[in-house]
Every structure is written in structure tokens, then in C-alpha cells.
Structure 1
Amino acid sequence: MAALVGAVVLLGSGCEDAAPKKGADKPAGATTPAAPAASPSTAAMPTLVGQKFTDAEAAVKKLVSRAVEARSAYSDVPLAADHAAWAVCFQTPAAGSPLEPSSAVELSLVAPGKPCPDKAGAALAPSTAPAASRTPAPPKPKTSPPTDGGSTGGDGGGSGGGSGSGASSVYFKSCAEAKAAGAAPMRRGQPGYRDALDRDKDGIACDK
């Protein structure tokens, strides 16, 4: 009976030894190597349009190692040395594009209160504006003979300054000729009137 019990004990011991203990074959002090870390996913370009340059630059610096390049959105407006408050109109890369740490980021800015152009690099004041059309000046009207007799002094001679003295196409040598033509009397300013025919200088020629 004692021999049977000893055989059972020996059999049980053999079973324990057959099952290898976890980690029993590792040397003391050895550590399990850590699993390799997963590579970080590529960042996406944030939406920066409408933000102030300082805020946009701070957001980009968290994602890229290169300096942010700023320029004026207008080709004829220089970028101010202090453009921290300028607003972003255009961004490169576009919002949502993959962004690597070495990616270059460019922001086109406008001064506070200025509208954004239709496209980056447009001119604020285009130099190709059509020149003002030059309307030819209307021709000057021909000067008509004076109607008030001009000079009132002297007897008028034959070419006095009176109206009709030489400017009118009607000319009478004498009052007799004017009366014969049915033109007398002639008032100052009327065709044929001249100072030489107005003897009393009352503005009416050949009235006597």
C-alpha cells in the first residue's frame, strides 16, 4: 500500500515539471522590449482666411518647423513692417491639405479695413484704367459786328468804330443813297448804319 502511494506522488511531481513555467527560461533582469510607436498621422492645414496674421502664424507654428511667409495680397500695396493686425485673404496650402513639418506656408494679407482682392496679386488701383475721353471743344462762334456803335467820340470818318461802319455787308456812301434804297433812317446796329451818316450822333442815321 505504501508503494502505491509513493508512485502516485511521483507521477504528480512529473506532471508539474512537464508544464513549463511562464518566463522560466528568461534570464534574471531581462525586460520585454516595447512595441514600436505608431508614426504620427500627417496634420491638415487649418483654415486661416479671415484671421489676423498673429493668430494664423501661431496656429501654423504648431504644425510646421519652417517660418511662415507673409506677403501683401495686392501687387501694388507693399507689406507693412508691422503686419501683425493684417488679415489673411489667401493661404497656401489650402485648408484641409496635408501638412508636413517641413511644409512651406504662405499667407497673403491685407491691411485692416481693406477688402480682399478677387485673386492674390491683383492690383488695388489698376494702371490700365481707361483715360478720360477728350471731347473736342465746340468751335467758337463767329464774332458778330458790335451792336452799340463802339466809340461814341469823333465824327466816324469812313471807318469809325461805330456798328456797321465796316463790319456790315451793307454800305451806303450817303444818306441819299440809303434813302433811295429805302433803308433810311437806320438805327445803330442795323445794316448800313455808320457814324459818318449819323450827323447829330443820336443813334439814328439819315433821319433828316
Structure 2
Amino acid sequence: MGAAVLLLAGCGEPATPKGKDSGKPASAPTPTGSGPSMPGLIGKTSAEAGALVAPVLPKPVEARSAYDDVPLAADHGQWTVCFQTPAAGTPVAGDTSVEISLVAPGIQCPAAAGASLHPPKGSSPAKTPVPSADPGHPKPKQPKSSPTPAPGPRDVHYKNCTEAKAAGAAPIRRGEPGYGKHLDRDGDGIACDK
């Protein structure tokens, strides 16, 4: 019995001496995720987002307004990131382009990039459909009568910042009712902020 154990033990492959190649391909190392990955930018300011991306990628961050009808201010460093591409945690390479969609301070992020902050008169904002209880049989849409909307505050005009402050409207951000270039002397997108 002892001889059988010795014979079986010797049937294995001989051990390879240290420093010698066994002739067999080495197993590939397990990836450790050591490459850079995209940092989370949503909720950060544009300036903070740029600082987080700079050590990871050499390309500058491409910024745009999250709302189609609100232009991006030249100085958008304090605007908030609503959307980012690529997503946080995505592995990135040196040639990856980063895009962020921003909103001015005090403005809420839209449900999707490219929405309108101020829909044209006569149109109603898009509503998110409510799922029916039975997904196989959606509820039929019922027409709703809507009252004619009252004229909005979009037609507001202030001669100067004193008038805007007296009305309690200051500061006024670009795209908000009452904003005018004549009120935004420093061109930062925020009128009557000083």
C-alpha cells in the first residue's frame, strides 16, 4: 500500500526549479481596476468638476447649459452639474471627452438635459406619464380642458437695479423673468447681484 502511494505521488508533474520556465503559459493576472475611472461630478460646481477631472484626463471638460433656452454664462464656475458623460465610475482613457450639463445657482436641474426652463406661451410643460396598474392594459388618455394661462411674469422689465431690488426680484439670473443685459454690468449672468 505504501508503494502505491509513492507511485501515485510521483505521477504528478515535476516541480520547476526557481527561475526556470515550465513551458506552460502563465495565467493572466486578474485585472485590479488600476486604470483611472470617471469621478462623480453631479451636484458639484463646474469649477469643482474641472478640478476633479484634471488629474484623471488631460482634455478640458466641455460644459453646456442643461436647459435649451438658457444660455451658458461665460463665467459658469459656480453653476451646478446636473448631468455628466461618461457616468461616474466608468473606466476612462486619456482621449475620453467629458461633457457636463449645468444650471445656474438657485435653478433646479431638469428631468433630462435639453429641456426648456421657460416653455413658449401656449404650450404646457411635458408631463411624465403615470404608469397604469396593469402594464398590459394602459389607461386610455382622457382629454383635459385647461384654463387659458394667465400672462406670466416673463414680460417683466426693470429700468435699473434699484427698481428690481424694490420689487424683491434681485438678484436676477439669465433666463429668469426681468433679466436684462443692461442690469448685468459685469456680464456674469446674474443681474443686480452687487
For the aligned pair, the TM-score class normalised by the smaller chain equals 0.3 to 0.5
TM-score (norm 1): 0.43
> What TM-score do you get using the length of structure 2 for normalisation?
0.46
Greater CA radius of gyration, 1 or 2?
A: 1
Tell me: higher relative CO, structure 1 or 2? Use CA pairs within 8 A at least 6 residues apart. 2
